[in-house]
Amino acid sequence: MTQPKIKKQLRLLIFSVVGMFGFGFALVPLYDVFCDITGLNGKDYSRATAVPMSSIDESRTVKVEFVTYLNKKLPWQFKPEIRSIELHPGERYQVSFVAINQSDQDTFGRAVPSITPGYGAQYLVKTECFCFQEQMLAANEEAMMPLIFYIDPNIPADISTLTLAYTLFKNEPTEVAMR
Amino acid sequence: MSEIQLKDNADKTILDAPAITTHIDHHSAPHGYKRWLFSTNHKDIGTLYLWFSLTMFFIGGAMAMIIRAELFQPGLQLIEPNFFNQMTTSHGLIMVFGAVMPAFVGLANWMLPLMIGAPDMALPRMNNWSFWILPFAFSLLLLSLFTEGGGPNFGWTFYPPLSTQYSPDSTAMFVFSIHLMGISSIMGAINVIVTIFNMRAPGMTLMKMPMFVWTWLITAFLLIAVMPVLAGAVTMILTDKYFGTSFFDAAGGGDPVLFQHVFWFFGHPEVYIMILPSFGIISAIIPTFARKQLFGYHSMVYATASIAILSFTVWAHHMFTVGLPLAAELFFMYCTMLISVPTGVKIFNWIATLWRGSITFEVPMLFSLAFIVLFTIGGFSGLMLAITPADFQYHDTYFVVAHFHYVLVTGAVFSIMAAAYYWLPKWTGYMFNEKLGKWHFWCSLISVNLLFFPMHFLGLAGMPRRIPDYALQFADINKIVSIGGFLFGLSQLIFVAVVVMAVRGGKKAPAKPWEGAEGLEWTVPSPAPYHTFDTPPEVK
């Protein structure tokens, strides 16, 4: 029961506490890396791709549903042209989303996609998407925002429906720049 | 020299306690408020913790009464939905961090040094600090209820965006009170570990320690591993809400689901923090009143350690419906079910201890027996919830509420009651009123089942949790549940009466009031003198 021994244990324990506090924060980047590698979580990490078109699988169809959400802070209307479509895997398709700025101010928005089920996210390949860039709508402007995509024919047989959800957020940094 | 036997180890150990000293301490204890405010005495601090915990138990209980009164019949009668949400949130936070955890720390403070033959905790000043932080932490939390916009209303799990975008202005008070609670329990845990590693009496090897000491040692390591993660989670909520970060905000590239992972990485070990010390208490009481050695001491130690380690691999079973991939759902389902193996080892060991024992039914034993049966019911409903596809039905219903109240009320709280009755003669020096204690037990047992058992049916029928109003078909069962709730609340007043009467006086308790009790704490007189084991006893 010597004092130095207690001090050493105390140091070790306090070090563990600080370490675990750091670990809590380390979970944030770890989580992103984990989702990126495994493609889980429906996070859509795809960038614009121009891969050679693979053959169209005529034997089956996959239903793609389009869902849109608006963040409260954005005074826009935002809707897909169509609610859903049945596609053969490999078939290229273009869909447009209608966005209307209902305010009297120029506003910047950014769409964040999410795909359900999560493990199907990697099979929805976008070749062109408005979500790749920030969108600007002038006061009361209306715009058609195009999305071109196809479904990777390697999509597992048990996925019959993919839901693509876009949430439009007000882009804050630009808002600061506009002031 | 008195010879007593330590029971908890497989091979009987003969113990040489030094001539028991009944001296009143030489450097006289300070009196009045200073005795409590500046105390570094493990018994005083233990007492403070226990009274604090009892106070919080009644404050959290009063909130539960408000909740049950509102749910007595469908429709909104008494309170606003927003206030209802504040009640469910505060009830959860206060019961977890204010009632159950401090009660265990109080028991650890009182009993660990006595059980391992140490004169005090290893770090007595830190001990004082870790207690006195708590009243401030909970004042902060309770005061937030009186601010404009109200207190925390996002559930004790504070999922964003409820706790960030939609939370009241008082959220910072909630965050800082959680920080303080975390600091307090981390300091308590450090103290327990250092005490157990350095202050054991000569001859008390690790595998001769009483089970309560073992379970607390493992609990303390769990606390050190996960309380900092909780502190990190609340800090991220704080910065998301007030400083423009986006850890959990999708608009800034964050992810609200990440919060659930971080929270439950803390949250699941936390539920074992609240039950492992119970296992230690029950492992002390059952052998005493069965008059047999604890069956399978070694397997008890290993089972406790396995539960603690496995508790880090099951967190996502709280979030099966969040959209996990199949592989993850299976992994967390199997790991969760795996925990029932070491838990089963414990239950069977207790039953084996009872087998052919010479059993008597004093109040601590009654609570312990009820613990075994009712905790097992809670364990089984936990297994049902572990089945991923079934969980999709049970998730966020009253079935979950029933499950965790069975493990926390009839589990953790009942074990704390058992411990209080078991060691009350040692603390006060007087035997408590056995008759009144039995009244407390039977009233609690009946009302607690009236309160929580029908909740299973409500949940299976689809009643969601955390709602102030419900569909008409749930009316009858909710009425029964509310009546059970009021009765359970009233029954706890009997407990206060028993404790107050035992503090004031009664039949003098001998050093060892329970015939079958064994262990170092029974070698010191009752009430335990202010300073004990100045000369360490020798354990052979």
Tell me what pLDDT residue A175 has: 43
Nearest CA distance, B124 vs chain A (angstrom): 13
Q: Where are the domains of chain B?
A: 2-539
Q: Taking 50 as the threshold, does the pLDDT of residue B3 lie above it?
A: no
Which residues in chain B have their CB less than 8 angstroms from residue A118's CB? Answer: 323-325
Of A147, A148, A151, whose CA–CA distance to A88 is shortest? A151
Mutation to test the A interface, candidates B194, B227, B263, most A Cβ within 10 Å: B194
Nearest chain A alpha carbon to B126: A10
- Rounded to the nearest angstrom, the gap between the alpha carbon of residue B101 and the centroid of all alpha carbons in its chain is 5
Q: Taking 80 as the threshold, does the pLDDT of residue B25 lie above it?
A: no
Which residues in chain A have their CB less than 8 angstroms from residue B231's CB? Answer: 21, 24
Q: Could you read off the pLDDT of A56-98 as tens digits, one per residue?
A: 888 888 999 998 888 777 888 888 988 999 988 888 888 888 8
B261 and A27: CB-CB below 8 Å? yes
Tell me what pLDDT residue A110 has: 81
Q: Are B477 and B457 in contact (CB under 8 A)?
A: yes
B262 and A116: CB-CB below 8 Å? no
User: Could you confirm whether B163 is annotated as catalytic?
Assistant: no
A167 and B225: CB-CB below 8 Å? no
Residue B15 phi/psi, 5-degree rounding, is -120, 130
Q: What ipTM was assigned to the predicted interfaces of this complex? A: 0.84
Tell me what pLDDT residue A122 has: 81
Nearest chain B alpha carbon to A20: B228
Tell me what pLDDT residue A75 has: 83
B194 and A9: CB-CB below 8 Å? yes
Residue A48's pLDDT band (boundaries 50, 70, 90)?
low
Tell me what pLDDT residue B14 has: 43
* Site of tokens 């400083």: B243
Q: Could you read off the pLDDT of B112-162 as tens digits, one per residue?
A: 999 999 999 999 999 999 999 999 999 999 999 999 999 999 999 999 999
Q: How far apart are CA A47 and CA A133, in angstroms?
A: 11
Q: Could you read off the pLDDT of B429-483 as tens digits, one per residue?
A: 999 999 999 999 999 999 999 999 999 999 999 999 999 999 999 999 999 999 9
Percent residues over pLDDT 90 in chain B = 88
Tell me what pLDDT residue B7 has: 43
Put simply, whether B225 touches A (Cβ < 8 Å) is yes
Residue A137 phi/psi, 5-degree rounding, is -120, 130
Q: Taking 90 as the threshold, does the pLDDT of residue A176 lie above it?
A: no
For range A96-106, the mean pLDDT: 86
Q: Are A64 and A164 in contact (CB under 8 A)?
A: yes
Q: Could you read off the pLDDT of A113-151 as tens digits, one per residue?
A: 888 887 788 888 888 887 777 788 888 888 888 888 888
A20 and B228: CB-CB below 8 Å? yes
Q: Are B196 and B117 in contact (CB under 8 A)?
A: no
Choose among A1, A24, A170: nearest Cβ to B198.
Answer: A1
User: Could you confirm whether B91 is annotated as catalytic?
Assistant: yes
Q: How far apart are CA B223 and CA B187, in angstroms?
A: 10
Tell me what pLDDT residue A144 has: 87
Q: Could you read off the pLDDT of B233-262 as tens digits, one per residue?
A: 999 999 999 998 889 987 777 889 999 999
Q: Which of B51, B132, B156, B439 is catalytic?
A: B156
Q: Taking 70 as the threshold, does the pLDDT of residue A178 lie above it?
A: no
Who wins on pLDDT, A154 or B444? B444
Q: Taking 80 as the threshold, does the pLDDT of residue B343 lie above it?
A: yes
B251 and A170: CB-CB below 8 Å? yes
For range B194-199, the mean pLDDT: 95
Q: Taking 70 as the threshold, does the pLDDT of residue B352 lie above it?
A: yes
User: What's the mean per-residue pLDDT of chain A?
Assistant: 81
Tell me what pLDDT residue A14 has: 94
Residue B13's pLDDT band (boundaries 50, 70, 90)?
very low
SS3 content of chain A, % helix, strand, coil (to 5): 30, 35, 35
Angle CA B373–B375–B379, to nearest 5: 115
- Tell me which architecture the domain covering B2-539 has in CATH: Up-down Bundle (1.20)
Which residues in chain B have their CB less than 8 angstroms from residue A170's CB? Answer: 251
Residue B8's pLDDT band (boundaries 50, 70, 90)?
very low
For range A33-59, the mean pLDDT: 67
* Site of tokens 């949790």: B465
Q: How far apart are CA B468 and CA B465, in angstroms?
A: 9
Residue A50's pLDDT band (boundaries 50, 70, 90)?
low
Which tokens sit at B124?
């007595």
For range B509-525, the mean pLDDT: 94
Tell me what pLDDT residue A39 has: 65
Tell me what pLDDT residue B469 has: 95
Burial of A14 (0-12, 13-18, 19+ CB in 10 A): middle
Tell me what pLDDT residue B482 has: 97
**Which residues of chain B from 109 to 168 reach within 8 Å of chain A, CB to CB?**
122-123
User: Could you confirm whether B444 is annotated as catalytic?
Assistant: no
